[in-house]
Amino acid sequence: MTTKSLILDGAQVADTIKAQLTKRIEQLADKGVIPCLATVIVGDDPASETYVRMKGNACKRIGIVSRRIQLAKDTTTTQLLDVIQQLNNDPLVHGILLQHPVPSHIDERAAFDTISIDKDVDGVTTLGFAQTAFGIGAFPSCTPAAIVAILDAYNISIEGKHAVVIGRSPILGKPVSLMLLNRNATVTICHSKTQHLDQIVKSADIVVAAVGRPKFVQGDWIKPGAVVMDAGYNKGNIGDVDYDACLRHASAITPVPAGVGPVTIAMLLKHTVDAAERTRIL
C-alpha cells in the first residue's frame, strides 16, 4: 500500500524555535547577560568533534557564547569531575554539555551527576532524569525534547496513541519513553533482548527509532498511517530507519538529515537561554 506521507521538516521546526530565542537573547543582553554553553569533550572521536562544532556554530549564529573544553583521551574521572565542578562554580556559564560517549575508563555516570542541576541543559543527571520522569522542572534531554517538539509543531496528537520506542539509553530511549507516557501515550519500550520486535512495531501509531544501527527499522514493520520518528544518526548521515521503505507506509516521517538532529540543537540553545534567564537575579 502506498500512502502520501508528510515529511516532518526538522530544519524548519528548528528555525522557528531559534527565531523565538533571538528576542529573549536580546532582552538578556539589555540586562548584561550573555547566555553561555560550555561543551566538554573527552578524547578525539571525529564524530563527536563534528557534533560539538555544529553546536558551537549554532550558538555563535544566535548570540550564545560557546565555550569548548577539549580534554585528552587519557583524562581520569577525577580530572573530569574537577573540570565540571569548575564550570558549576563559574557564574558566566549557564549550561554544561558533556558529550556522550566518554572513553570507557571514565565513570560517565559520575561525570554526568557532577553537573549542577541548574546547568544540566541536556537532562543527563540522575536528578534531571527523575524530574523528566515526573514531568516536572529542569531540562529534559535535548533529543527526546526534539522528538516531542516536532510532533507538537505538526499537531500530531500523542494522547492515547501506542508509541513504540526502540532503544532504552539514558539520554534518548528511556527519557523519550517517559515524556511520551507523560503526554498520555501508551508506551512500549524495546531493546536488544526484545522478541518479535517487528510485530510490536507493527502495532505502533508512533515509532521512535533510537537504536544506533543504520536502516534498522524496515518498511514492512510500519502500520499504514503510523508516524515514524528517526533519532538515529549513523556514519554517513544515515538514520536508524529504512527511510524510502518506511515512507511508503507512514503518514509522517522525519528524514535524516534535517529531521530530529537540527531540532536537538535548537532545544540545546533553548535550554541554555532558559538557564541564563533563571540564574539571573534581577
Ligand X SMILES: NC(=O)C1=CN([C@@H]2O[C@H](COP(=O)(O)OP(=O)(O)OC[C@H]3O[C@@H](n4cnc5c(N)ncnc54)[C@H](OP(=O)(O)O)[C@@H]3O)[C@@H](O)[C@H]2O)C=CC1
Ligand Y SMILES: Nc1nc(=O)c2c([nH]1)NC[C@@H]1CN(c3ccc(C(=O)N[C@@H](CCC(=O)O)C(=O)O)cc3)C=[N+]21
Out of ligand X, ligand Y, none, which partner does residue 122 contact, by CB within 5 to 8 A per kind?
ligand Y
For residue 104, say whether it is annotated as part of any ligand binding site.
no
Our measurement of the distance from residue 50's CA atom to the centroid of its chain's CA atoms, rounded to an integer in Å, reads: 16
- Pick the catalytic residue: 9, 18, 99, 230? 99
- 97 binds ligand Y per the rule CB under 6 A: yes
Separation of alpha carbons 2 and 225, rounded Å: 10
Is the peptide bond prior to 257 cis by the omega test (within 30 degrees of 0)? yes
What is the size of the binding site for ligand Y (CB under 6 A)? 20
- Pick the catalytic residue: 9, 122, 230, 242? 122
Our measurement of the distance from residue 241's CA atom to the centroid of its chain's CA atoms, rounded to an integer in Å, reads: 17
35 or 232: whose CB is closer to ligand X?
Answer: 232
**CA distances, 47 to each of 50, 108, 236, 237 (Å):** 5, 18, 10, 11
Alpha helices by DSSP H, listed for 142-259, are: 142-153, 173-182, 197-202, 243-247
What the block records as the C-alpha cell of 204 is 505502533
Q: Is 198 a catalytic residue?
A: no
**CA distances, 85 to each of 39, 93, 138 (Å):** 13, 12, 19
**Contact region with ligand Y (CB under 6 A), list: 30-38, 92-100, 150-158, 160-168:** 92-100
7 or 34: whose CB is closer to ligand X?
Answer: 7
What the block records as the C-alpha cell of 92 is 558566566
21 or 200: whose CB is closer to ligand Y?
Answer: 21
**Contact region with ligand Y (CB under 6 A), list: 21-29, 76-84, 94-102, 270-278:** 94-102
- Binding residue positions: 167-169
* Binding-site residue positions for NADP(+): 167-169
Catalytic residues: 55, 99, 122
Interface residues toward ligand Y, by CB under 6 A: 51, 54, 97-100, 122, 124, 142-143, 171, 233, 237, 256-258, 261-262, 264-265
